Amino acid sequence: MSIPYRRLLDQITKIRGVRGAMFVAGEDGIVVAEAVVEGIKANAVAALAGSLARRVRRAADSAGVGMPEFVQLQAEAGTVCAVPAPAGMLVVAIAETEVNVGFLRLAMRKAAELTS
């Protein structure tokens, strides 16, 4: 993994409750760079988050909301967040349900901005 990507992801994974973060090629859901704890399948998270983000984008576009700048899927045992980054990439994070989403969103947006 390139150092710049690693540093950007570290800013996300240092937030309490975050179990992994990655850059994902948005259209095909392939991991570009990742930093995840053991037990997290980065490839699966990337593929599923990419697919979900794509579908949410279509629904949001249809509903007149436009291209989402932040998407969060909350589940019983965790949460997955995605933020679009330049060149069609996504910044994706998987975290525990109690994570401070405010901090997480800021860190993900910053990472997305800095990739440009």
Partner 1 sequence: MADDVRSLSDQLARDPASLVFLELAETLRARGQLDAATKVVMAGLSRHPQSAAAHDLHARVLADRADLPGAERAWQATLEIDGRHLGAHKGLGFLCFKKGDVEGALDHLELALSIDPTDVAVVQALKNVRGTSDLPMLAPDDPEPEIPESARPTPREGTPAPVSSIPGAAPVPTPSGAGRTTQEVFIGLEGADRGLLLVDARGRVLGGAIRGTDGQDVSEETAAHLAGVAQEAVRATRVLGLGGWSWIVAEGPGGNLFLSPPTPETTLLVVRDRSVPSGRLAVLAEKAREVAARWIEEAGQL
- Give contact residues for partner 1 (rule: CB under 8 A): 41, 44-45, 48-49, 51-52, 55-56, 58-60, 62-78, 80, 94
What 3-state class would DSSP assign to 54?
A: helix
Q: What is the DSSP letter of 78?
A: E
- For partner 1, give the closer residue by CB, 7 or 90: 90
- For partner 1, give the closer residue by CB, 3 or 77: 77
The CB-of-2 to partner 1 minimum distance in angstroms stands at 26
Q: To which residue do tokens 């405010």 refer?
A: 102
Q: What is the DSSP letter of 36?
A: E
- For partner 1, give the closer residue by CB, 7 or 51: 51
The whole-angstrom separation of Cα 45 and Cα 54 is 14
